[in-house]
Amino acid sequence: MAKTVVILGAGWAGLPLAHKLLKYTTPKVSGLKVILVSPNSHFFWNVAATRGVIPDEIPDDQLFLPIKPAFAAYPGENFEFVLGAADGIDQQVNTVKVSCNDGSEREIVYDHLVVATGSRLASNLPFKPIGSHETTIAAWHQLKSKIQEAESIVIAGAGATGVEVAGELAARYNTAKQITLLVSGDLPLEGTLPSVRACVDKDLKRLGVKLITQVRVTETKEADDGKQTEVVLSNGDILTTDLYLPLHGIKTNTTFIPGKLLDSNGNIKLDKNLRVVSTPNIWGIGDVGDVEPKQLTITDNQIIYLATALDAALTGSPEPAPYQPANKKMIFVSLGRKMATGQIGNWKLFGFMVSYVKGRKLFVDTAEGYVGGKHLRHASM
């Protein structure tokens, strides 16, 4: 009997998972069809967004790669790409409701459903997809224009994204733009090694970034001139800036998931096999789940595992051993092309190593192969 796997989301986790099933499982399961659902016609290589947001740094065609041509080699009876967003799931009859980009609606029947819809910034700034490709790229171009015009930029959020954006802007513009980074603690990159945090702090200051520590933003409002933004800080200070970038906070794209399957933070509750708790045939992968931090560095392991688990479920093979979450923190931060740092486990990495591996190109040269299903980020397909 023909079977259907529906994958919601064609981002860092969903797209390569579709490739793996098509390459390795469809030859073993007669009539297997993989349906990939996404509101985005293009894959956003947003690992390079922190530099790409600077005008003239990275062309659009290297950051936004068309998805459909990447699956052209697979037989039509085995694959379908649906442009649309999930609106709801009916577990009783194994259907997912999809609102298509063309205004139509579909109900797609599944044997197995994979939720890989990812996350977005709480501010909805387009450092991640924010809807359709057209919506995302329009917001992207608007943000680039604002950055080009701004003489002063205040960034709230000193996690990896905020730190990299501050570093990239300062490395490119030097003193031509005043870059300010707001830090809630005493140093940027909370949760990393003290030596890594101290290194980032020092390098940002060397680049000319002004760091204001131990503060949070309590309010933002339009300045009297109607052009600038007033940023009110928890210490009572008020900053006036041409551009304010809130780069803190992540929201999972799970509003269509029944509430009983989510935790209090909107994450999907997954079991030891990446299956949604209390369901026999719904799975989760990437940022939507509750098993690991929301970091791109863990994606490869989840893709490899879930492809194996689905293969076993579809072929009637024994279930694989439980998924083993990563037990080593991995982070790689580039501040322009020449400064960088990072850590693996309890080891601080040499800056020149991170600059060579990541900082030079931000892996843009590997994007076409990733989207085309030739390889994962750090593993073979």
Q: What is the pLDDT of residues 229-242, one digit of tens each?
A: 999 999 999 999 99
331: amino acid identity, one letter:
I
In the block, residue with structure tokens 């029947």: 109
When pLDDT is cut at 50, 70 and 90, the band that residue 268 belongs to is: very high
Model confidence at 312: pLDDT above 80 = yes
Sign of torsion over alpha carbons 146, 48, 194, 249: positive
Which of helix, strand or coil describes residue 41?
Answer: coil
Model confidence at 1: pLDDT above 90 = no
Task: Read off the pTM.
Answer: 0.96
Q: What is the model's pLDDT at position 224?
A: 85
Spatial separation of the C-alpha atoms in residues 78 and 4, rounded to whole Å: 9
Pairing of strands 330-335, 119-121: unpaired
Instruction: Give 281-297 pLDDT, tens digit per residue.
Output: 999 999 999 999 999 98
Instruction: Give 165-185 pLDDT, tens digit per residue.
Output: 999 999 999 999 999 999 999
Expressed in angstroms, the distance from the first to the final Cα of the chain is 28
Residues 79 and 15: beta-carbon distance below 8 Å: no
From residue 165, alpha-carbon distances to 51, 120, 150, 218, 286 in Å are 7, 16, 14, 22, 23
Angle between helices 194-206 and 160-173 (to 10 degrees): 30
